[in-house]
Amino acid sequence: MTDELKPCPWCNGNAHVRIYMRDATSKIIDGYSIECDDCHIDPDIYDAHEEEAIKQWNTRPIEDALVKALEAMIDLVNADRQDAVECDKMARAALALAKGGNDAQ
């Protein structure tokens, strides 16, 4: 398995793939889920394929949007286009995402 699990979104702890067997005596894998080692959260992630369970666990739309917005701000500053108004607008949009909203103030 080459896909690495992101830390737990609730406690930032380590997570592991949990394997479900078809029954107690079977060696047939029925599916996979992800569980946190620290807070033991077991979100509603279950799939017949390990890669898909990992993909579901690692999907973080708000975090991904924040990273993209912050990278764009860094690119803007590094491009010697220190446009304060544009950076302010992007920072407000990222903050709105972090607070769970969709609109920049």
Q: Are residues 44 and 80 in the same domain?
A: no
In a domain, 4, yes or no: no
Distances (CA, A) of 30 to 3, 9, 39, 62, 101: 20, 26, 25, 31, 38
Q: Are residues 68 and 88 in the same domain?
A: yes
Q: Are residues 55 and 67 in the same domain?
A: no
pTM: 0.59
In a domain, 3, yes or no: no
In a domain, 10, yes or no: no
Q: Are residues 21 and 54 in the same domain?
A: yes
In a domain, 33, yes or no: yes
Domain count of the fold of the chain: 2
Q: Are residues 55 and 81 in the same domain?
A: no
Q: Which two tokens stand for residue 39?
A: 């807070």
Q: Which two tokens stand for residue 32?
A: 């996979």
Distances (CA, A) of 58 to 18, 41, 72: 15, 14, 22
**pLDDT tens track for 16-38:** 999 888 777 777 888 999 999 99
**pLDDT tens track for 59-101:** 888 888 888 888 887 777 767 665 777 777 777 787 777 776 5
Residue range of the domain that includes 84: 62-98
